[in-house]
Amino acid sequence: MTAVVVLGSSGLTLARRLVAELPDAILHGYAPRVADAAIRFDDVGEHLRGLFSAGESVVALCAVGIVVRSLAPVLGDKRSEPAVVAVAEDGSVAVPLLGGHHGANDLAREIAAITGGVAAITTAGDLRLGLALDDPPPGWRVTNTAAAKAVTATLLAGAPVDLAIEAADADCGWLRAALPRSLREGARGGLGSTAVRLLVTDRAQPGDGATLVLHPSTLAIGIGCERGASADEVRSLVTQCLAQANLSPLAVAGVFSIALKAAEPAIHSVAQELRVPARFFPAAALLAETPRLSERSDIVFRETGCWGVAEGAALAAGPEAVLTVPKQRSARATCAIARSPRIIDATAVGRPRGRLAVVGIGPGHAGGRTAEAEAAIRAAGDLVGYRLYLKLLGPLAAGKALHAFDLGQEEARVRAALALAAEGRSVALISSGDAGIYAMASLVFELIERAADADWARIEIVGIPGVSAMQVAAARLGAPLGHDFCAISLSDLLTPWPVIEQRLSAAAAGDFVVALYNPVSQRRRTQLVAARDILLKARSADTPVAIARNLGRDGEALHITTLAALDPAAVDMLSIVLIGSSTTRRVRRPDGGEWLYTPRGYDSKSEAAK
């Protein structure tokens, strides 16, 4: 996560732009001056120190001195500090203050590209060498970052550095281009006699203070396993296979398998431990690797449609890859490792497990969205929803593939979201309020069960809660949901009216506060009257009732009346109706308005204590 911290209104426009364009960015605002930030704070120094200590990247739209003085007490090990960038409020300069080689330099460059300003890079390696050896390009990882300092110092002094290459020779151009006069290449796999060295290898090499070991991502791990295989078993098998060939886990580009296994937790556990992507191939892609397999299995073919999963998946990761560790078995899993002469971009082969985030965006305005909801929307490449809900996202939807649907196309919306996720895409299905309350979440699981589509069942589904209309209405009104309550939808489009009547009668008998969703529509005007009459049988005519309309949007309105006076003409499709229990109270406010609240019984508890 990246915290974009703004201290006043003068930097707010730029801060919002950065939040919209930087991945996983959240707006943090100084509460006395910034009203609509996702996260608000009162103490600048304390908040900055908290973010830094939690390891979050920080983009601070303020003077460098403020950040320096705030973070000075918590500065420690530079090898573990997160990125901290100070940005001028006009966007003219982005200064990486801390964590230059842990993302701050790149973050400053990214901000400068957004604003048209300058990234004020000050780290010597970046300025004079054009690279940071402890933060190599994508596809490369370092074993011993401590040696990077010695190697960089030698290069800056103009002294020679030995380069030995044992793997991915074709991909070392970035080293040769940056250091053409300083590198002294020895024989393949050998090292010269200079004090410091660079070693390019996919083998397990610990390195030392004078030898910087660079690992290119040239290894592909293929995994096959039974359903529900233990993550410990599969991780142990992978570790064994790497050790058997003396291969470094840091040279692994990705973990690969067949699409049938896309939902296996053990495979994702291995990928997570190695910090690499998990990618999956259709059976046809693995079948095409048959001539290169070391063995063929009739059992595997009958179950999957290919002759070998582990070896086939490892080989499919790179067209030039060759098996370096043939298939190895444990009780419930298989593993094979292929080596490529070139770096493998795991994100460009196979496809990931699809992800569907079912997101509730609250009442509609940005301040009503949770930070978790905004993060899920930013992480998605495709947004699916009713066109009004997508419009309410504003800048948050910029750069996304939008799939807009009309009102009444709920099933079409969910089918589209599931189909996109089944292709391996990251999708957010957008609902107003909370997606699990009279919204899309239940339909997602209903369609998965009803359709019996194996691809849909393998999708990763994440529910992201939102603020529901009854919560917003209650907060605006006081505390009408302060004691037991229930929610009932009056729409009989999907639920027969006799069932709704039964639920209303039960709520009336139980003396619940009742939140009525979908109280009326253009064609449905009688149900609210019927609901009122059912509730009047069990509670008094002067029971407080609140009508809340257009919550969190332009035209928001609240109206308090009584159960007897509840008029359907005052209610529309954008309204929710809260009907009090027998104990719900109306309290006159000093400004002439009213609060509603339902007591929990603290007064009786106080009396009992006397």
Report the pLDDT value the prediction gives residue 192, as an integer from 0 to 100.
Answer: 47
Cβ atoms of 566 and 545 within 8 Å: the answer is yes
Sequence spans of domains, the chain: 2-122, 140-216, 219-348, 355-467, 471-597
Report the pLDDT value the prediction gives residue 371, as an integer from 0 to 100.
Answer: 83
Report the pLDDT value the prediction gives residue 78, as an integer from 0 to 100.
Answer: 64
- In order of 46, 206, 278, the CA distances from 447 in angstroms are 48, 52, 26
Q: Which pLDDT tens digit goes with each residue over 440-480?
A: 999 999 999 988 778 899 999 999 999 999 999 999 999 99
Cβ atoms of 334 and 326 within 8 Å: the answer is no
On the 0-12 / 13-18 / 19+ scale of CB atoms within 10 A, 604 is: exposed
Q: Which of 418, 361, 425, 355 is nearest to 390 (CA)?
A: 361
- In order of 138, 216, 218, the CA distances from 201 in angstroms are 16, 7, 9
Q: Which of 53-57, 78-82, 467-471 has the lowest mean pLDDT?
A: 78-82
For residue 607, pLDDT beyond 60:
no
User: Higher model confidence: residue 253 or residue 197?
Assistant: 253
Q: Which pLDDT tens digit goes with each residue over 383-408?
A: 999 999 999 888 788 889 999 999 88
Is the CATH number of domain 471-597 3.40.720.10? Answer: no
Q: Which of 262, 263, 274, 253 is nearest to 316 (CA)?
A: 253
Q: Which pLDDT tens digit goes with each residue over 162-207?
A: 778 887 666 777 777 666 555 666 544 444 455 677 888 999 987 7
Q: Is the pTM of this model over 0.85?
A: no
- Residues whose CB falls within 8 Å of the CB of residue 371, separated by 6 or more in sequence, listed in order: 26, 38, 39
Residues counted in the chain: 610
User: Higher model confidence: residue 151 or residue 94?
Assistant: 94
What is the fold of 219-348? Nucleotidyltransferase; domain 5 (3.30.420)
Cβ atoms of 337 and 222 within 8 Å: the answer is yes
Q: What percent of the chain has pLDDT over 90?
A: 62
d(CA 379, CA 373): 10
Report the pLDDT value the prediction gives residue 387, as an integer from 0 to 100.
Answer: 93
Multiple choice CATH, 2-122, 3.40.50.970, 3.40.50.11220, 3.40.50.2300, 3.40.50.1980? 3.40.50.11220
Report residue 436's pLDDT band, with 50, 70 and 90 as the boundaries.
Answer: very high
- In order of 134, 140, 499, the CA distances from 212 in angstroms are 9, 12, 72
- The residue type of 215 is H
| Residue whose entry in the numeric block shows the structure tokens 């849909």 | 456
Same fold, 2-122 and 355-467: no
> For the CA atoms of the chain, what is the radius of gyration?
30
- Residues whose CB falls within 8 Å of the CB of residue 412, separated by 6 or more in sequence, listed in order: 405
User: Higher model confidence: residue 128 or residue 90?
Assistant: 90
For residue 101, pLDDT beyond 80:
no
Q: Are strands 575-579 and 513-517 parallel, antiparallel or unpaired?
A: antiparallel
Report residue 484's pLDDT band, with 50, 70 and 90 as the boundaries.
Answer: very high
Cβ atoms of 574 and 407 within 8 Å: the answer is no
User: Higher model confidence: residue 473 or residue 378?
Assistant: 473
Please list the residues that pair with 281 across neighbouring strands: 258
Q: What H or E segment, with its residue span, contains residue 357?
A: strand 355-360
For residue 278, pLDDT beyond 90:
yes
Report the pLDDT value the prediction gives residue 284, as an integer from 0 to 100.
Answer: 96
Q: Which pLDDT tens digit goes with each residue over 285-342?
A: 999 999 999 999 999 999 999 999 999 999 999 889 999 999 999 999 999 999 999 9
User: Across the chain, what does the average pLDDT equal?
Assistant: 88
Q: CA dihedral in degrees (34, 36, 41, 42; nearest 10)?
A: 40
Cβ atoms of 482 and 585 within 8 Å: the answer is no
Report the pLDDT value the prediction gives residue 610, as an integer from 0 to 100.
Answer: 52
Instruction: Output the CA angle 602-604-608, nearest 5 degrees.
Output: 115
Q: Which of 204, 304, 219 is nearest to 255 (CA)?
A: 219
d(CA 534, CA 512): 13
- Domain range 355-467, CATH architecture: 3-Layer(aba) Sandwich (3.40)
Cβ atoms of 262 and 280 within 8 Å: the answer is yes
Q: Which of 98-107, 351-360, 368-377 has the lowest mean pLDDT?
A: 98-107
518-546 residues labelled b (16+ CB within 10 A) or e (exposed): bbbeeebeebbeebbebbeebbeeebbbb
Please list the residues that pair with 5 across neighbouring strands: 28, 60
Report the pLDDT value the prediction gives residue 188, as an integer from 0 to 100.
Answer: 43
Report the pLDDT value the prediction gives residue 130, as an integer from 0 to 100.
Answer: 59
d(CA 430, CA 472): 18
Report the pLDDT value the prediction gives residue 398, as an integer from 0 to 100.
Answer: 80
On the 0-12 / 13-18 / 19+ scale of CB atoms within 10 A, 295 is: exposed
Q: What percent of the chain has pLDDT over 70?
A: 92
For residue 151, pLDDT beyond 70:
yes
For residue 372, pLDDT beyond 60:
yes
For residue 608, pLDDT beyond 70:
no
